[in-house]
């Protein structure tokens, strides 16, 4: 008889494939004892059969059985083949159509008759019940781990993990800070506070051949998820909600995390990959009519700034304007009184706004509880929650505004402001300009006109 062997293991923490190797040895012995010829072996290692995810090798085995001369499918146990009733029925149909037997190390299963199919369905039901009980136990264990502030498992988080030897094998201790990665994480938080972009961080790390813990390149969305993870501030989460302090040390302090969180979740923050800014003033400078300016091009390939609202309303050579605005920024931040620019921007303590934001979140939770318990009606909860949500948006905007001091401080403290300005990426330059000034481009007049700085109106922006 011609046989195919299938092995599977749900979780392979070490990557050694020891479990599937043991299954394969037992299946080979069964075939040898019965005089069967193995025509091919299939194995899905580190892959569950209790989810809807595809099992490539299992699918390939079924395809071979359906198209080739195969007499028997050999597995260690029926639950290595299927762990859900929904997956058993296609197997029953295939074995019926092809007259293929199913043999396991723990006992054969004849799916060609009603008694065998009944046994198969019972075994599949038992396997599915075991999966459900296991899921409940794991869920409860994860909840307890969260309440105690312990790690939940899974892949190693970037910024944490020190290699240790355990039972003769190498494992990662994720309760310890990985210092080289942690320094990168701290730098990324500071970059965002200073007005830098997530794409800039990703580009920098990729250029230095720094990969994620999965070995992938960084993109703006993976950097965003990293910086929004409360783990970095030693806060334990469960199902997306912070449930208390964690047992591991923090990479960054609470104020830094909350400031960056407020910046990244701002509703008007543009995170669309295809619309990343390429030039200094689009969206910042205004036309004299009040509309934003955008980038345009002459038929000779020269870049211009033009009015977004009305075609032909404004068209000015862009490069001289960029150079002039940059010179104004450098000159202003090079003055001895530049530090005075920070005084009006510090305002109340950031902790006060953090506390207020948390109080609003707590109140929203109370409203949800009151609705569940029937204390308040749905219309009443909606009215209150809409008001509180708007207050939360305003408070988070204020938290982001308070961090504007960090946009200017690195330049003001620099020994050479011009050199520091040139070294900034585009997003941080735009953040500095947006923090310092309001720019209006006036009409240059009819015909070709030489660059006239008097046609650029620059007014200091008042602190929020």
Residues 446 and 305 in one domain: yes
Q: Please state the length of the chain.
A: 464
Per-state percent for the chain, helix, strand, coil, to nearest 5: 50, 15, 35
Which string of DSSP letters, residue by residue, matches 353-381? HHHHHHHHHHHHHHHHHHHHTTSS-HHHH
Q: Is the pLDDT of residue 274 over 50?
A: no
Domain boundary, last residue among 224, 244, 274: 274
Classify residue 164: in a domain, yes or no.
Answer: no
Q: Which of 334, 332, 220, 320 is nearest to 280 (CA)?
A: 320
Averaged pLDDT, 242-262 = 86
Residues 320 and 454 in one domain: yes
Classify residue 152: in a domain, yes or no.
Answer: no
Domain CATH number, residue 184: 3.90.1750.20
Classify residue 286: in a domain, yes or no.
Answer: yes
Residues 236 and 313 in one domain: no
Q: What was the pLDDT predicted at 395?
A: 77
Residues 373 and 400 in one domain: yes
Domain coverage including residue 357: 277-460
Whether the Cβ atoms of residue 16 and residue 53 lie closer than 8 Å to each other: no
Residues 340 and 439 in one domain: yes
Residues 265 and 308 in one domain: no
Percent of the chain with pLDDT over 90: 25
Averaged pLDDT, 3-25 = 77
Burial 92-114 (b: 16+ CB within 10 A, else e): bebbeebebbbbbbeeebebeee
Q: What was the pLDDT predicted at 294?
A: 87
Q: Is the pLDDT of residue 103 over 60?
A: yes
Q: Is the pLDDT of residue 183 over 80?
A: yes
pLDDT class for 149, splitting at 50, 70, 90? low
Q: What is the pLDDT of residues 345-355, one digit of tens each?
A: 544 455 667 67
Most confident range (mean pLDDT) of 244-253, 370-379, 403-412 is: 244-253
Whether the Cβ atoms of residue 399 and residue 258 lie closer than 8 Å to each other: yes
> What DSSP element (H or E) covers 415?
none
Task: Look at the block and give the residue holding tokens 């700034």.
Answer: 305
pLDDT class for 249, splitting at 50, 70, 90? very high
Paired with 177 in beta bridges are 160
Averaged pLDDT, 191-211 = 86
């Amino acid at each position: 008889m011609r046989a195919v062997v299938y092995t599977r293991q749900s979780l392979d923490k070490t990557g050694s494939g020891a479990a599937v190797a043991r299954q394969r040895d037992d299946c080979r012995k069964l075939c040898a004892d019965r005089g069967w010829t193995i025509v091919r072996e299939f194995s899905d290692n580190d892959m569950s059969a209790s989810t809807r995810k595809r099992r490539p090798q299992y699918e390939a085995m079924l395809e071979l059985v359906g198209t080739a001369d195969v007499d028997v499918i050999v597995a260690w146990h029926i639950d290595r083949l299927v762990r859900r009733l929904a997956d058993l029925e296609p197997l029953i149909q295939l074995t019926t159509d092809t007259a293929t037997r199913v043999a396991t190390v723990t006992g054969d299963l004849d799916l060609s008759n009603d008694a065998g199919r009944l046994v198969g369905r019972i075994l599949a039901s038992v396997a599915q019940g075991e999966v459900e009980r296991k899921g409940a136990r794991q869920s409860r264990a994860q909840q307890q781990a969260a309440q105690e502030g312990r790690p939940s498992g899974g892949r190693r988080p970037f910024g944490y993990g020190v290699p240790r030897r355990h039972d003769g094998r190498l494992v990662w201790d994720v309760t310890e800070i990985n210092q080289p990665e942690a320094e990168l994480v701290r730098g990324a938080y500071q970059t965002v506070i200073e007005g830098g972009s997530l794409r800039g961080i990703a580009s920098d790390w990729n250029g230095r051949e720094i990969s994620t813990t999965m070995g992938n390149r960084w993109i703006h969305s993976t950097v965003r998820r990293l910086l929004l993870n409360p783990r970095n501030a030693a806060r334990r989460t469960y199902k997306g909600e912070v449930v208390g302090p964690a047992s591991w040390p923090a990479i960054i302090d609470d104020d830094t995390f909350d400031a960056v969180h407020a910046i990244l979740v701002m509703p008007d923050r543009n995170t669309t990959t295809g619309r990343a800014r390429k030039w200094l003033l689009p969206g910042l400078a205004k036309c004299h009519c009040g509309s934003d300016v955008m980038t345009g091009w002459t038929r000779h390939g020269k870049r211009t700034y033009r009015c977004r609202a009305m075609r032909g309303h404004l068209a000015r050579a862009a490069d001289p304007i960029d150079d002039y605005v940059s010179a104004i920024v450098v000159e202003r931040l090079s003055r001895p009184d530049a530090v005075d620019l920070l005084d009006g921007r510090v305002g109340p303590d950031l902790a006060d706004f953090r506390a207020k934001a948390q109080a609003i979140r707590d109140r929203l939770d109370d409203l949800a509880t009151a609705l569940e318990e029937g204390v308040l009606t749905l219309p009443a909860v909606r009215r209150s929650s809409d008001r509180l949500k708007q207050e939360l948006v305003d408070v988070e905007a204020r938290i982001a505004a308070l961090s504007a001091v960090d946009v200017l401080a690195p330049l003001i403290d620099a020994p050479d402001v011009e050199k520091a300005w040139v070294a900034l990426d585009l997003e941080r330059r735009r953040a500095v300009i947006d923090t310092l000034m309001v720019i209006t481009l006036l009409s240059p007049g009819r015909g070709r006109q030489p660059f006239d700085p008097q046609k650029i109106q620059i007014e200091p922006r008042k602190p929020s």
